[in-house]
Amino acid sequence: MTQTGTTDYVGLIRNGIFKENTIFKLALSLCPSIAVTNNLRNGFLMGVAVLFVQVMVNITISLMRNFIHPRIRLPIFMLIISGWVTITDMSMAAFAPEAYKQMGLYIQLIVAFASILARAEMFASKNKFMPSMFDGIGMGLGFLLALTVISFFRELLGKGSLWGFPIIQAKPLLILILPAGGFFAVGILMGFFNWMSMRNEKRRHPDRAA
């Protein structure tokens, strides 16, 4: 979506969560989604980190969009993104050292997220402050929700706990915590997401040939 001057803020947020959900629809920035989602706490924190970076990057670039020469905009964007990722990286090391120990590398890799760069390029560099901020919130929330859902299932079924609190007493499916399980979980959830949106399409446009 590259609308300029849009004031449909809720629409922007809804777009980021459903229509253009980074993980389930666009299949971008997948690397961390499998790596850190083997328990709820890490997945949630990663999502929060991405949300923070996305919003701050969008705001920064939107505020600076008239001062950046088009030819060098991509390196400048990368610089801005790396700056915010470094801040997030250090903050997490300070405030959540345990989680950071397990996923520090993946937090640093946020800088390579195609989704953040793409959003900056497609939206924030062409739109005013408020729409850009809400677009960042929308895409970031979509990512956070996706990660939370994935890690919710993986921890609940794979370890029988949630955020470290034991919930299920039966023997858990250990495979879900292993890397392989991560792929399975995302693949199945992605298929489910597709199926839901296919159903919605059919319901909203019953005359369109599927």
Closest to 60 (Cα-Cα) out of 148, 132, 3, 9: 132
Of the pair 15, 29, the CB lying nearest other proteins is at: 29
In angstroms, give the least distance from the CB of 134 to other proteins.
Answer: 25
In angstroms, give the least distance from the CB of 34 to other proteins.
Answer: 4
Closest to 49 (Cα-Cα) out of 89, 18, 22, 83: 89
Of the pair 166, 179, the CB lying nearest other proteins is at: 179
**Helix, strand, coil percent content, the chain, rounded in steps of 5:** 75, 0, 25
Of the pair 3, 108, the CB lying nearest other proteins is at: 108
Residues in contact with other proteins by CB under 8 A are 27-35, 75, 78-79, 82-83, 85-86, 89-90, 105, 108-109, 111-112, 114, 117, 175, 178-184, 186-188, 190-192, 194-195, 198
Is residue 193 within 8 Å of residue 25, measured between CB atoms? yes
Structure tokens at 52: 């923070």
In angstroms, give the least distance from the CB of 5 to other proteins.
Answer: 30
Is residue 167 within 8 Å of residue 2, measured between CB atoms? no
How is residue 172 annotated by DSSP? P
Chain position carrying tokens 């030819």: 71
Of the pair 24, 44, the CB lying nearest other proteins is at: 24
In angstroms, give the least distance from the CB of 86 to other proteins.
Answer: 5
In angstroms, give the least distance from the CB of 54 to other proteins.
Answer: 16
Of the pair 13, 53, the CB lying nearest other proteins is at: 53
Residues paired with residue 166 on neighbouring β-strands, in sequence order: 161
